Amino acid sequence: EQGSIGKYKINFITRLLTLIIAFGQGLASIIRSQLFDVAQQKILVLQVVFFLVVGSFICIWLSDLITNKGIGNGVSIFIVISISENLSKSFKSLLSNDAFFSTSQKILVLLSFLILLILTIILCSSYLKIPISYATYKRNDTIQNHIPLKINTSGILPIILANTFLNIFPTIGAFLSNDNYFKKFIIQLQESQYYYLGLGFFIYLLLILLFSFFSVFIMLDPYDIANHLSKQDAY
Distance CA 136, CA 139 (A): 6
pLDDT band at 138 (very low <50, low <70, confident <90, very high): very low
pLDDT of residue 140: 46
| Domain ranges within the chain, ordered by starting residue | 1-72, 154-219
pTM given for the model:
0.63
Q: How far is C-alpha 131 from the geometric centre of its chain's CA atoms? A: 32
- When pLDDT is averaged across residues 23-39 and rounded to a whole number, the result is 79
Tell how far CA 214 is from the center of its chain: 13
- SS3 state of residue 234: strand
Q: How far is CA 18 from CA 6, 55, 132, 212, in A?
A: 18, 12, 42, 22
Residues 76-96 have a mean pLDDT of: 77
Q: Say which residue, 233 or 36, is predicted with more confidence.
A: 36
Torsion of the alpha carbons at 160, 190, 112 and 79, rounded to the nearest 10: 30
Mean pLDDT, rounded, for 43-67:
86
Most confident listed range (20-24, 100-104, 174-178): 20-24
